Each structure stands twice: as structure tokens, then as C-alpha cells.
Amino acid sequence: MNERRRSLALLAALPALVPAGARAQGPAAAGVNVLAHGAVGDGRTDDTRSLQAAINGCPAGGVVYFPGGRTYLASNLALKPGVRLQGEGAAVLKAINSGDPGYFLATASYAANVPATADEGCELESLVVNAANLKAVALAWRAFYGRVSGCRIFGANDADLLIATPGAGGAAMPNGSMVNNRFIGNWFGGADDHRLRLPRHVVRLFDPSANKATDILFQQNYISGATQSVLEFDTAAGLLFQGNHVYGGPSVFRKGFMGFVCTGNYFENEVVIDDITSGVAAAVFGPGNTLLADLLAKFGSHGDQIVSTGNHYVDRAGLRHCYNDASKLLVSIGDIFARIDPVRFYNHDGRTVQPASSGRFLASNVYLAEARHFWNAGIGVAQRDASDGAGYTRRCVAPLQIRAPHRNGSISLRLALKPLGPSGMYEIEAMANADREPQGEATLRFLAKGTVSRSDGNRYQACLCKLVYRSEEWESAPALTAREREGRLIVELSGSFRGDGRADCFGTCYLKAEG
């Protein structure tokens, strides 16, 4: 029995041992070889008719095979439902740039501009698609249960990949008919040829009705280089954007996202969340993304929550929130920031800093590497439980970690707390430690309290802070102050020392309702 199992395992492994050249003949045997239909692939001959004839003649479930080491010229091609275009090695499809056909490759229903369901089972695999400065798009996709994998697509002026529910002439299709498309392991944009202009968008998802493009996966793609935005996603439901590398322009996610997960990606340029549909609880970002530039929540974002969770904001990257009364909450959970001012609020023109009342910000388990304070950003704490009657306690937790190395410098922690009710008490506990044990100095411990009066006559216990510092030599004992400004409690902690020291401040903020 064991011998039989080993034999079966060896047989199962045999396809992986067949030479690549021999294995590539499998699709040709099961489908259609474009050379058999008269394609030349010499980079000079117009192969449009031969290639389209090969596609049209391939049965559903079959493969149109492009032998490698050739460049096939064509004007524009329509993909057939249920057919895979398969390249071998350096098989190149290059557009003949004549007139303005609107697309180079397109699924059949898009090309025909018919108000029908999307094309089922279209696939592209291991092809280089060079749109060669075509004025429109390189690949127009209107399919369901489709897949594009292992391809390099570039060279269009408008978009290298357009996923669109309307057809080429704007014809709409029934609801929910463009589902379960996969884009895996591709390279979009990033042309090496300096004669090719950058597109306006490298990848664009366009679904004006917001309920037809669903369950789309972008995974392990390299997406680069655009004049306006590398990614332009207008509405989707059930979109998973995972493990991609994006650079060369901002990434824009706008309108109607429902069930959107963006995780494990590397963004070298700004990410913009804009005009998220009202009433949609949008967990937009994270976990595991790395950003070299800001995540910007623009004033058009009406979602219940814009959430950043478990992401790493490198160097000067942070969260920016443009002034918007409709935006309910900007949330950062478990993020790591490297900048001094990781959270900033702006007005409509994107320049003037607004008070935190322009939008609420909630930080939870956030680590601020090399940071000293939040800059003009309010920390709005949310109610943890529903009890708000006499004798009950609302416990609102917003832990912070702040790391600030200095030499002959100072330590500063500033929290701006916005009361949620007409009365209440904030209780703040913070701790700071140096990264080295003191030399000849005892650990300094003290307890500080502050009380402020509000204009409405209510009095607040501002803070209760327990602080622990270690450093070689203190010039001034750390001091804590609390005051009210514009309806917020401002808590400031400061101190200075000589020598090397590192302060790690972390704490929890509680709100207690008065009886």
C-alpha cells in the first residue's frame, strides 16, 4: 500500500518535471495556435484578422495559444467568453496605433456595447500587452468569473486596465452581473520605453451604478506610473486589494465601497479616500499596509467610519482629514507612525488647520515612533457600553504610545480631549520611561491632578496622571497642565533633561458620567 502511494505521488509530480517548452504545447493541443490561423508575429505584419479568427474559432473552455519570442501586431481585439488567451515566454501583443478605437483588447460585451450580462470565463495569462500610445485603454474588462494573471500591460494614454460596467458606448448592464474577477501577479503600467506617455490612470474601476461590480480580487500586482492617479476605484462591493506594490501617483478610492478590504500592500504615494457613500460603514484600510505618503480622508467622505488599522506609516506619512461635518469618525487602531504630527485636520482648501471639531478622531493601541505629540488633532473617545444613567460608568478607552528620543532636549505630550456629554470626568493615566537606567539619579515619580471649569458651569476633573521618568540628569521636573479651549480639554506634559534619554509614554483615557 505504501509503495502504491509513493507511485501515485510520483505520477502526480510528473507534470512539474516536463520541460517548459514541451509543457507549453498542452494549451495549443487543447485549443488553437494563432500561427495556424495565419498570424506571423514578426512585429511588422498586421495580424489583426488572424488573431481575431483564432479567438472566434476557439471553442468555449479552450485556449488560444501565442508562441513565445514573437510580437503580434493588431489594431483591436475582442475576447470571447469562456476562452483563455495564453502566452509563452516573451509573447507580445502590440497595438497598431491608428485612429482612436477606444481600446486595444476588450471583452466581447464591452466591445459590442450591448446592455447584456458580462462575458463569462474570459482569461488572459502570461502575455505582454503593449498599447503603444493608444489614446484610450489597453484592456477593457466587462466579465464575470474572469481572470488576468502573469501579464504585463502598459502603454495606453487613458488607462492600462479599465474595469467598467458600461460598454464602450455607455450601454449599462443588469445589476450584480460583473462578479468574481481575479487580477493576480500582473504588472500594470511602468513602461520602460521613454517614448510611451504615462496614462491618466493605470488601473480604473468604473461602476457608476455602484451595485454591479462585486467580489473583485487584486493580489500581488505591481502597479505604477500615472499622470493623475495610479488607482482610480469608483465604487465596488466585496473588493479585496491585497499584497500589491503601488507607486508613481496617488491611489484614489471613492464612492460606495461596501465590504472593502485593503491589506498587506506597499504604497509609495498618497492614498485618498474620497466621497464614501453616506450610511456605509467603511472599514477602508488595513491591516498590514505600508505607506510612504499620507492617507488622506477628503471632505467628500460621508461614511460612518474611515478606519486605518494595523498599518505602518513610514517617514513623513500620516493621516490627514479635510474638514467635513458629515464625516462621522476617523479611526486609527494599532497603527505605527514615524512622524511628529501623524494626524492633521484641514479645511476644504487643504491648507488651513481646523480644530478637531471638524471631524472626530479615535486612536486605539497606536504606537508613535519618534513622535512627541499629536498636532492639533482631537482624540474623540467613543462610548464603550450603553449605560448612561446615574451610578453607571461610560468607559472610553484610547491608549497611546509615544516614543521620543532626545539629547539635552525635552519631553512633551499633548492630548486634546473633546467631551462627549454635557458633564463628565476624564481620567488619564500615562507613563514615561527612558530606554536606559538612570546614572546616580533616582526614578522620579509623582501624581498630578487638574480641574477645569466649563462655560456651561460644569466642572471637570481634568486628569489623573501617574508618571515615571528615567534620565541621567533632569533640568526641570516634568510638569502637567490641563486647561479648556474651544470646548476641549488640553492636557500638556513637559520636562527637560541633559544627556541621553528616551521617553515612552502610554496611557488610557476614561470618561465617567456624573450621577
Q: What is the pLDDT of residue 123?
A: 92
CA distance 290 to 263: 9
**Residue 281, class by beta-carbon neighbours within 10 Å (0-12 exposed, 13-18 middle, 19+ buried)?**
middle
Q: What is the mean pLDDT of residues 392-415?
A: 36
pLDDT tens for residues 40-78? 999 999 999 999 999 999 998 899 999 999 999 998 899
Residue type for position 465 = C
What would you report as the CA-atom Rg of the chain, rounded to the nearest whole angstrom?
Answer: 29
Q: What is the pLDDT of residue 348?
A: 47
**Residue 205 reports pLDDT greater than 60:** yes
pLDDT tens for residues 1-44? 444 444 334 333 333 333 333 333 444 445 799 999 999 999 99
Identify which has the larger pLDDT, 306 or 51. 51
| CATH entry, 30-189+214-221, from 3.30.210.10, 3.40.50.2300, 3.20.20.70, 2.160.20.10 | 2.160.20.10
Q: What is the pLDDT of residue 72?
A: 96
Q: Which three cell numbers stand for residue 456?
A: 456651561
**Residue 320 reports pLDDT greater than 70:** yes
Q: What percent of the chain has pLDDT over 90?
A: 17
Q: What is the pLDDT of residue 115?
A: 56
pLDDT tens for residues 75-113? 889 999 999 999 987 899 999 876 567 888 888 877 775
8 Å CB contact between 308 and 263: no
CA distance 65 to 43: 17
Q: Which three cell numbers stand for residue 361?
A: 478622531
Please give the mean pLDDT across all residues of the chain.
64
Of 69, 80, 140, 128, which Cα lies nearest the Cα of 104? 140
Strands 271-274 and 266-267: unpaired
Q: What is the mean pLDDT of residues 341-348?
A: 61
Whether the predicted model's global pTM rises above the 0.85 cut: no
Biggest CA-to-CA distance, the chain = 89
User: Mean pLDDT highest for which of 130-139, 316-325, 336-345, 474-483?
Assistant: 130-139
**Residue 258, class by beta-carbon neighbours within 10 Å (0-12 exposed, 13-18 middle, 19+ buried)?**
middle
CA distance 272 to 287: 17
Query: In 10 A of CB 388, how many CB atoms?
Result: 11
Q: What is the pLDDT of residue 292?
A: 87
Q: What is the mean pLDDT of residues 360-371?
A: 57
**Residue 456 reports pLDDT greater than 50:** no
pLDDT band for position 436 (cuts 50, 70, 90): very low
**Residue 483 reports pLDDT greater than 60:** no
Q: What is the pLDDT of residue 50?
A: 95
